[in-house]
Structures are given as structure tokens and as C-alpha cells.
Structure 1
Amino acid sequence: MNLRIIFGLLLLTATFSSIAQETAESWPSPVKDSLNGIVLFDRLEISRNNRDENIAVWDMIAWYGGDTYRLYFKSEGENQQNDGEPTDIERAELLASRLIAPFWEFQVGIGTRGELTSESNMENYAVLSLYGMAPYQFEVDSSLIINEDGDISISMEAEYDYRISQTSYIQPRISVSASPSESERFDRPTGFNAIRVGLRYRMEVSREFAPYVGVYWSRALGNSADKLRSTGDPVHETGIVLGARVWF
């Protein structure tokens, strides 16, 4: 009886080894890291604020690369219509990115911001960013900026897509900016500078094109608010927006 059991176990082991070897050889090769790219205009809109001013706004991101390493370009700005003033570039950045954890990338690069005029004193800077998706699917883009004078500023943006149906979403969004150090050259005091909160309802006509409507509220903070009050400028702003989210 013992010999039969031992012989059976040996035969079973040999059978499983043969099956495992044949299965391993038949497995497909690992998926190779391919290069892809996308251009996304998360906000392409016209807003009208509580002072009856019309403002064109864009917020875009483009990337090219694989799963681990990518090259990014980010651009954001606005232009107040029919006021004779130039377009304001809030950021234009070129960054190299590396995946450091699931859904999180560390980015380093250079950027510039300021008014688009021939006489403009653009602020050039180096930037370190943490970009990705926090728990509960919040998309986060946080940046540490050091300009050519050594002045430091911080920005953080977060947004969340709450699905209403298969093709419609509610998107709350918040952005905050702060300056640990004062920049006299670019008229930026220390402390928290501004906060902006928005809410948009988006409907997908297709995956690549989704018009939306929304509202926003923004306010200057701390020393930045005090400086605006001293010149008689408004500290807060509200408005409605009409735009589209486009990618290709």
C-alpha cells in the first residue's frame, strides 16, 4: 500500500511539473512600455464676473512618454476682453516626470509667467511638482517654485469628478497660492496670496469634447488683500463660466 501511495505521489508531481512547464512556455511576452501622448484643455472658457467683465481663460496640459517617464507641458492664463491690457500668463512650464508611486509623479522643470508684452518683465523660475491622484480620486497638482531671484512661492490645485450619469459630471475645484518669501520685484508679499473655488457641471458630447457651465468665487488673502485695499481694488470676485473640456 505504501509503495502504491509513493508511486502515485511521484506520478502526480511529475504530471503537474510537466503542465506548469508547458504553461509557462505558452505564456505571452510581457507588455512592452509604449510611448503615447495627449493634449488636454481641462478649462477652455469665457467667464463673466460681478463687475461685468468678460474674461477668456485656458488651462491645458500635454504629455508624451511611457508609464514611468514622461515629458510635460503645462500652460494656464487669462485675457480680459476689450480692456486694452495684454494676456496674463499664469504659468508656462516644461517638465520631466517620473512615476514614484501608483498614480503619483514627481516632476522637475522650468517655467515662466507674466504679461505677454514686448516690454514685459517675465518671471522665470525652476519648479518641483507632485502630480497625481489622491485617495478618493482627487486630482492634485502641487508645485514649489523658485524664481531667478531666489524667491519662493507655492501653488496647489485640486479637483474631483463626481459622476452624475454615464456622460455627465459635477466638478468641484479649488486652487490656493502662497509665498513663503517676499518678492519686491514681482510685487508678491509673504503669506497666503489667494484662494479660488469653482463648481462646474459637464456633459460629454463625446469622450473628447465636453461643454460645461459653472460658477466660481475667488479672494485675495493676507498681505495681498491688504495691498489691494490700499489701492482701492476689489479683494474678492464671483462669476459664471461657459466653456468646454477638450482633449486629443
Structure 2
Amino acid sequence: MSPLRTALLGSALGISTSVWAQDHSMHNMPGMEMPAPKKVKRAETRKSTTAPAAPEKPEAAPAPAALPATVVPDHSTMDHGSMDHGSMDGMQMRDQEAVASQGDIAVSGTDQPAGSASPPPAPMDHFADRKFPAAEMAKAHAEMMQESGGQTFGAAILNIAEFQAHRGRDGYRWDGEAFYGGDINRLWVKSEGEGELRRGLDSGEVQLLYSRAIDPYFNLQVGVRQDIGPAPRRTYATIGFEGLAPGMFEVEGALFLSNKGDLIGRVEGYYDQRITQRLILQPRVEVNFSAQDIPENAIGSGISNVELGARLRYEFSRQFAPYIGVSYYRKLGDTARLARAAGEDIHATSFVAGVRFWF
């Protein structure tokens, strides 16, 4: 190593050693002594004592006390099996009851603590019953029911009153009913029949029935039926129904047991199809049947006859509506056989014109 390199290396080591050997406490460093505070002159002191006093600053609010540290239990060392959960539930319930009982507010129903709430009072049908005497409310309720369906009323309806024009023999026909009563119980009178011009009445009947509503759409009817006309007259015990079927079809049916032991029946229905608010088309069907042959009335067992018709009416009002239409009548089975033996037609097509009214 050259003398020059040796001198440079030695000087570098000496500098680094002196740097690490310095005292950084700054107590014994030369030139770092703090100057002494200056003395205030008397003039300045006298001037400061005569200056106006500065306004006092409001005292700062004391700092809030520090909250105690929350001690988190070590759940890994807790014995859950030895804990009395029943006593804890009781303590929690008592705490809830104490909170609920604070103040003058009474709690009830679902406002009470869970598990201890008594059931709420049963609701009443009429809130006014809580405020007014029971006798007065019962009287008002009876009057309301009387005005809302307990009244009695009546009507007479002539569904068919028509002239029938068919081959060689023109005739007439009627079908009507009347009732009187309320929404549940009614007294009905029904009548229907037919005849020929210049020959008089062929057949007819009158029914007197008691009717009771069995649901909002159907009535059950029982009573008696009496035949009228030149044919052998029979008296029948009657049971039947009348109502409004789904689809707004008016239907009715009945069984008739005569005083001779003959059982016959009838089912009929019609539907009002509104073309306009006043023009209405009414299809109509009627089927009659018998449980046995009744030769004196020219009726055979099974389905005795069927009638199909369609009538188009115009309602000048709901109470008065003239109509025109067509009707087809046919005898079937043993009834047709008896008619052929007597030389009568078993079917007929008629053009009809009549009026439908009620009051």
C-alpha cells in the first residue's frame, strides 16, 4: 500500500471515530448554551400595569371522566352447564316488568313483555255496543234488520202469455207465478196451461207452494198441485226447487205424486241473453217425464215430451215487454206411441207472439 493511500485511510477512520464519540445529550456541547432571559425594564412593567384588563375567558368545561374499561370474559373457560338459565330468565322478565311499570302509562295487550302478556279483550261485533245501553242497541239492530231484508213484499209475473200459430190449429199458452213474503219464507202460486182456439182448454194446472231459501240462489218448495181442464183431474203432492244456476240460468224442477199414486216430474230452464239494454233473446227448454204409464192422461213412462223455444222481446219497461219467437214441441217414447194410436201429431212447430209483464 502506498503512503498516500495509508494516509487517506487513516484520516477517514479518525473522522468516523470522532463522529461516533460525540455526546448527543447537548449538555456539554460547546456553543450550545441557552442565553439567560432578559430583564424587563421598569417602564415597561409600569406601562403593563396601567393597561386595561383583558376580558376573562370562560372556563373550559371539565373533560368527561374516562369510562372504565370493559372486561371481556373468557368464554373458553366458562362452565355453561353450571349456569342457572332459569334464574336469568326470571331476572330478565322482572327487569322488563320494572321498565314497563315505570311512569303512569298502563300497558296491555301486545305492549306487555313477551311471555307475560294477558290476551286482549275479544272484539265485539258492534263498536256502538260499548258506548250505548244494550237494550237500546238491540232495538236499533232489530229495526236495521227489518229494513234491510226483514220486510214482506209481493209480485205477480206472467212469463208467457202468447198466441201460437201452427199448422191448421192455432192455440194459446200461459205460464205465470206470484209470490208474497220475505227473503227467506214465501208463499207461491204458479199456473200454466194451453189450449186451442175454438176447442177450449186442453190442459192446465195450479200450484200452491211454500218456499224457503236454502242458500242465496235457490229456494226449496213444497205444496200441492191441482189439474184443471177436460182431462182427468188429479191432485198432487209437490216438492221442487227454483233458483239461479251458475251462468245466470233460471232453473226450476218438481216432482208430483198424485192421489192415484202416479209419479211425474218436470225440469225447465231459460236464459236471458241481452242484445241491447232493451232487446233480449230468451232461449227456453222444458222436459217432462213419468215413472209409469198413465193411459187416461195419454202419458207413457220415461221422457214424455220436450219443448224447445226462443223468444225475442223488447222491454219498453221492466214491467212490460212484448215478444215474438218460435217453439218446437215433440212427444217421445211411449207417449208418442199413445199419440199415434189416437191419431194425433207427435210434434209441432209454432210461431208465437205475446207479452211478458209483471207488477
- What is the TM-score with the length of structure 1 in the denominator? 0.86
Q: Which runs of 5+ in 1 are unaligned?
A: none
Q: Distance in 2 between matches of 1:219 and 1:246?
A: 28
Structure 1 residues 5 and 171, CA gap change in structure 2 (3 angstroms): farther
Tell me which of 169, 176, 183 is aligned to 1:60: 176
Check whether the contact 1:217–1:238 (CA below 8 A) recurs between aligned residues.
yes
Q: Write the mapping of 1:1-248 to structure 2, written as runs, cut at 5 A.
A: 3=100, 7=105, 21-22=127-128, 29=141, 30-32=144-146, 33-49=150-166, 51-82=167-198, 85-116=199-230, 121-248=232-359
Q: What is the CA-CA distance between 1:122 and the residue it aligns to?
A: 1.2
Q: Distance in 2 between matches of 1:5 and 1:188?
A: 90
Q: Distance in 1 between matches of 2:325 and 2:104?
A: 75
Q: What is the CA-CA distance between 1:106 and the residue it aligns to?
A: 0.8
Q: Secondary structure at the match of 2:297?
A: coil
Check whether the contact 2:164–2:171 (CA below 8 A) recurs between aligned residues.
yes
Q: What is the CA-CA distance between 1:142 and the residue it aligns to?
A: 0.3
Q: 2:358 is aligned with what amino acid? A: W
Larger RCO (alpha carbons 8 Å, 6+ apart): 1
Q: Distance in 2 between matches of 1:208 and 1:183?
A: 40
> Which string of whole-angstrom CA distances, capped at 9 and with x for unpartnered residues, describes residues 103-143 of structure 1?
11111111112425xxx631211111111111111111101
Structure 1 residues 135 and 6, CA gap change in structure 2 (3 angstroms): farther
> Which string of whole-angstrom CA distances, capped at 9 and with x for unpartnered residues, describes residues 18-74 of structure 1?
xx844876996332111100000001111101x132212111000000111110000
Larger radius of gyration: 2
Check whether the contact 1:88–1:114 (CA below 8 A) recurs between aligned residues.
no
Check whether the contact 2:232–2:296 (CA below 8 A) recurs between aligned residues.
no
Higher strand fraction: Structure 1 or Structure 2? 1
Structure 1 residues 12 and 94, CA gap change in structure 2 (3 angstroms): same
Q: Which runs of 5+ in 2 are unaligned?
A: 1-95, 112-119
Identity %: 32
